[in-house]
Amino acid sequence: MEAKAMQRVALVISDEQVVQMTTINDALRELGKEALQCDVQLYTQSSSQSKLPVESSSIEFLICISRSHAYPDGSWFDEISRALKPGGTILVYKVLQAAPKETEKVIISFERQLLLAGFSDAKGVQQSTAKAKKASWKIGTSFALKKGTKAPIKLQMDDDSDLIDEDSLLTEEDLKKPQIPVGDCEISTTKKACKNCTCGRAEEEEKVKLGLTTEQLNNPQSSCGSCGLGDAFRCGTCPYKGLPPFKLGEKVSLSSNFLVADI
């Protein structure tokens, strides 16, 4: 009794009523020497049933011999997984009389179904055979996950890196605070010409006050001929009104106190 209990079992299921022994032997050879040494149990016309007459996790090798493309299906793969031991092997053996290409397509389809059913290492052994393994752990098995230790982030700077200190590029002259010249018209905060202006800003300010352009002062012209004689001879709309007499074609020169109030 103890020897019988320890005997390894290979279950053969089929949708056919009769299965030839040569077909069963060919399938066992595909599984290797261990399967050939097992106690073989045959279950025919299994496609008409919904469950296998075996206990859960009791079968080490299961061979499904079928002629139909639709057997075994998804529900039968779940039942086969229930019957197999953890790490057990399933072999789908197709007895087809179709062309090799059509048979290959059927086997590829069964490989995908085996993977979707939770089996691993699904692969085609021959043109008419697909094999896979059940996971080596039982349903409901739990185990602890090792948490990785968080190591501090370390930055390694090579001496040969291209990074340089920006401050090392500055010279002593660059570090000196710039001195603002006193009375410089260009950078003065007053935005007015300084007392001893030499940059031309004072002259430009005078032109703005008079409402004359540079061309009118440098090369004065007159359509009436009286603009250069003085205000007594100028009309009311003369642009040179208020300026001292000048000669036409010569630059109009203004005295230093020209814009100073008389009072």
Helix orientation angle between 100-116 and 74-83, rounded to the nearest 10 degrees: 60
Distance in angstroms (rounded) separating the CA atoms of residues 212 and 218: 10
Mean pLDDT over residues 167-179, rounded? Answer: 81
Q: Write phi, then psi, for 10 (nearest 5 degrees).
A: -115, 115
Q: What percent of the chain has pLDDT over 90?
A: 7
Q: Which residues are annotated as a binding site?
A: 185, 194, 197, 199, 224, 227, 235, 238
Residue found by looking up tokens 């996790």 in the block: 57
Q: Which residues are annotated as a binding site for [4Fe-4S] cluster?
A: 224, 227, 235, 238
Distance in angstroms (rounded) separating the CA atoms of residues 166 and 18: 89
Nearest to 96 by CA among 88, 86, 104: 104
Q: What pLDDT score does 214 carry? A: 65
User: Does pLDDT of 207 surpass 70?
Assistant: no
User: Does pLDDT of 139 surpass 70?
Assistant: no
Residue type for position 120: S
Q: What is the pTM of this model?
A: 0.48
Residue found by looking up tokens 């069964």 in the block: 110
Tens-digit pLDDT profile for residues 11-41: 999 988 888 888 888 889 888 888 888 888 9
Q: Which residues are annotated as a binding site for [2Fe-2S] cluster?
A: 185, 194, 197, 199
Residue 239 CB neighbours (<10 A)? 15
- Show the tokens assigned to 81: 């997984």
Distance in angstroms (rounded) separating the CA atoms of residues 263 and 261: 6
Tens-digit pLDDT profile for residues 50-60: 889 899 888 99
User: Does pLDDT of 4 surpass 60?
Assistant: no
Query: pLDDT confidence of 137, banded at 50, 70, 90?
Result: confident
